[in-house]
Chains A and B, each alone.
Chain A
Amino acid sequence: MADYHLKMDNLSVGYNGKPLIRDINIGISKGEIVTLIGPNGSGKSTILKSITRQLKLIAGMVVFDRESIGEMSYKALSTRMSVVLTERMKPELMTCHDIVATGRYPYTGRLGILNREDEEKVEEAMRAVCAEDLGARDFNNISDGQRQRVLLARAICQDPEIIILDEPTSFLDIRHKLELLSILRNMAKQKQITVIMSLHEIDLAQKISDKILCVKGEWISHFGRPDEIFKEEIIRELYDIDNGFFDPCFGSIELPGPAGTPKILVLSACGTGIPVYRRLQKEQIPFAAAILYKNDIDYRLARLLAAEVVAEEPFREIGDEAFSRALSLVESCEAVFDAGVEIGPCNRRLSELFSEAERQGKLRKLRHEVLE
């Protein structure tokens, strides 16, 4: 209990005295990465701004290392907490090195002149984010990815115990998102720096975070480890998704599959079905998938996209129930697509399905061939 690095204690946050989110009670341990997820406008930034004291707390308190943040001086806080904000910084005539060097502000003397040690910290921070070669460049003339790295370096060289980042990956392409997050990951684990941030990319949030905080309007809907949070129902409820589906295993979001009675039966295994499903989904043709073992990667996607899935428990021979269902689908569908299946001792009954489809003149082999 007392070992939490940062604790929100009955915290209510909001603007102009009006609470937006009430009664937040959360403890964060040192070196943890905590990610806030939730729909736009749910109050992720409001919470972060309250922790950084940009906003006055409405009620409750934020306890940082057993001290209430509201009672710490700005100066004392600045040597322990640094920030990367969403608002675009538009400095005039400042090089990236200058920007990073502002992180040393709390440590320099009255006139803010950097000494040798400060300079070393600046360079170390720039190395940590792989931005050494940006030093002399004008901050306004670099790419978004570089800018975020420089701002992170600035936050790092402030030597904080905790870093708060508000949507650090916005505007970044996928490579830079990954780069930035892996820098954060390393930093948190090696230097035991606590990281609290908000992210829009829930798939990345799942992969980088130790804890996830789901923010949804007035309250915190869930808080816990990613494996506790990334469940279909929780995510669907959090984002009010009813036209799309979330796969907790890979953190991926799928568009809804075509509904209706299946017109096409897809026979596949080990991923051969995935491109076929996607193609049929785009064409909005309802389809069925058979016969998939529940540990097959095709099964995970078919579950979300197919109108019907005929499945069998892993490592068993195909049972009568599944087989007869598949057989009736061969009967009712207009075509049967063979996406490529290895036939072995367990699934040998599939070859019976293939010959039945062939007999009815419905079988189309898609192996090594482009879907038309």
Chain B
Amino acid sequence: MQQGFHMENFKRRSRYILVFAVLLAAFLAITVLNINTGNVDISVPEILRILFHGTGGTTEYNIIWKIRLPRILMAAILGGALSLSGFMLQTFFENPIAGPFVLGISSGAKMMVALTMIYFLGRSRSVSSYTLIAAAFLGSLLTIGFILLFSRRLHHMATLLVAGIMVGYICSAVTDFVITFAEDSDIVNLHGWSQGSFSGMSWSNVAVASAVVAATLLITFFLSKPIGAYQLGEAYAQSMGVNIKAFRVALILLSSILSACVTAFAGPISFVGIAVPYLIKRCLNTSRPLVVIPGTFLGGGVFCMLCDLIARTAFAPLELNISTVTSIFGAPIVIFMMLKRQKGRQ
């Protein structure tokens, strides 16, 4: 028997290693592909020279360093953040379909960001990324607060989601309303952003986002032990020594920070938060947070980079909203997932 478990452990570990290796390979491949494709063709040797020697034609240099690279990194960082936020919300609500978009958290953040932008731009002042993140964070917390109020009364999983979707609609309506009445100059800025996009990212954006996300990721990773306990249910977690109140607050704050950060920079992005954690858990064949947390983050990054690549290139020079692409890939996964759950129940 002893031998059996060791064998089992070995098999598991090999599986983890394989999945992470594939994810990393995909990450690198998509990065290269992303740098390589676009309206301006740049050859691979040229790219390498630009990346490692910082030389080359000025236009190409600018395209790569100022446009494509920050955009790729941002897609990776924010995609990871979004997926991780979804994973935490699913743990929190004990509901596999919970996610920042479905629960209306992204929309709440979007509304606050829109209001903040209009306020500042209306006074012709520039807005710092930190202010936007703070606004988005506030919006996220407000929406989660609402949903928690609902969930106190409605214990049913479906009603929780309906509540989230309704809150999301209300926030979107408010956002649309203020955009309609905003000044022309603001609209250009706001419109693309409120649909979700990774375009127009700067290096300072990257710096801020990576700092915020890295810190949150690290804290979350070190919470994987209580997250694992919480997966058995609140009562069991408590009996295992988890301080439930503090833990719940931490989980909500961390997932809000992550989804706020995403919304502040790239607007609302749908389905990533549900589809990626699901896929990663299936691939790893475990829900152990210790491996699922890094796996989800990496997987989310790869998924968003791929979606962004498609958004950029599918109908070039036209660019699709990132949510259009993530929905096309993400929604079927979610439907599949629900069908599968239904089957498991029967």
List A residues at the B interface (Cβ < 8 Å): 49, 52-54, 73-79, 81-83, 85, 87, 89, 91-95, 97-99, 102-103, 105-106, 108, 110-113, 119, 123, 132, 135-136, 140, 158
Most buried by B among A76, A92, A158: A92
Residues of B within 8 A of A76 (CB): 241
**Which of these, B1, B2, B229, B290, contacts A102 with CB under 8 Å?**
B229
* C-alpha gap A50/B96 in the complex (Å): 30
* C-alpha gap A110/B241 in the complex (Å): 13
* C-alpha gap A158/B231 in the complex (Å): 17
- Known contacts A83-B236, A85-B235, A111-B225: A93-B241 contact under CB 8 Å: no
Inter-chain pairs besides A54-B235, A77-B241, A87-B233, 19 sampled, C-beta below 8 Å: A53-B238, A54-B238, A74-B243, A78-B241, A79-B241, A81-B239, A83-B236, A85-B236, A93-B286, A94-B287, A99-B232, A103-B240, A105-B229, A106-B241, A108-B225, A112-B225, A123-B2, A135-B1, A135-B8
B271-293, CB under 8 A of A: which get 1 and which 0?
00000000001100111101000
A-B contact pairs, 8 of them (CB 8 A): A53-B238, A75-B243, A77-B241, A92-B281, A98-B286, A103-B240, A110-B225, A135-B8
Task: Report whether B233 and A112 are in contact in the complex, using a CB–CB cutoff of 8 Å.
Answer: no
Residues of B within 8 A of A158 (CB): 240
* C-alpha gap A76/B290 in the complex (Å): 24
**Least CB distance, B227 to chain A, in whole angstroms:** 10
* C-alpha gap A247/B290 in the complex (Å): 55
**Which of these, A49, A106, A135, A140, contacts B240 with CB under 8 Å?**
A106
7 shortest interchain CB distances as A-B pairs: A78-B241, A112-B225, A75-B241, A105-B240, A92-B287, A83-B239, A106-B241
Minimal Cβ-Cβ distance residue in B for A158 = B240
**Least CB distance, A121 to chain B, in whole angstroms:** 13
Residues of A within 8 A of B38 (CB): none
Task: Report whether A112 and B239 are in contact in the complex, using a CB–CB cutoff of 8 Å.
Answer: no
Residues of A within 8 A of B2 (CB): 123
Residue B344 interfacial (CB < 8 Å): yes
* C-alpha gap A158/B240 in the complex (Å): 8
Task: Report whether A102 and B238 are in contact in the complex, using a CB–CB cutoff of 8 Å.
Answer: no
Most buried by A among B5, B96, B225, B286: B5
Minimal Cβ-Cβ distance residue in B for A104 = B240
Minimal Cβ-Cβ distance residue in B for A49 = B235
B4-30, CB under 8 A of A: which get 1 and which 0?
110010000000000000000000000
* C-alpha gap A190/B287 in the complex (Å): 36
Most buried by B among A89, A112, A123: A112
Residues of B within 8 A of A74 (CB): 238, 241-244
List B residues at the A interface (Cβ < 8 Å): 1-2, 4-5, 8, 96, 222, 224-225, 228-229, 231-233, 235-236, 238-244, 281-282, 285-288, 290, 344
Residues of A within 8 A of B222 (CB): 110-111
**Which of these, B235, B239, B281, contacts A93 with CB under 8 Å?**
B281
Residues of A within 8 A of B5 (CB): 97, 119, 123, 135
Residues of A within 8 A of B240 (CB): 78, 102-103, 105-106, 158
- Known contacts A97-B5, A105-B240: A140-B344 contact under CB 8 Å: yes
Minimal Cβ-Cβ distance residue in A for B8 = A136
* C-alpha gap A94/B232 in the complex (Å): 10
Most buried by A among B238, B241, B288: B241
Task: Report whether B233 and A78 are in contact in the complex, using a CB–CB cutoff of 8 Å.
Answer: no
* C-alpha gap A94/B236 in the complex (Å): 15
Task: Report whether B231 and A132 are in contact in the complex, using a CB–CB cutoff of 8 Å.
Answer: no
Task: Report whether A92 and B225 are in contact in the complex, using a CB–CB cutoff of 8 Å.
Answer: no
Task: Report whether B8 and A105 are in contact in the complex, using a CB–CB cutoff of 8 Å.
Answer: no
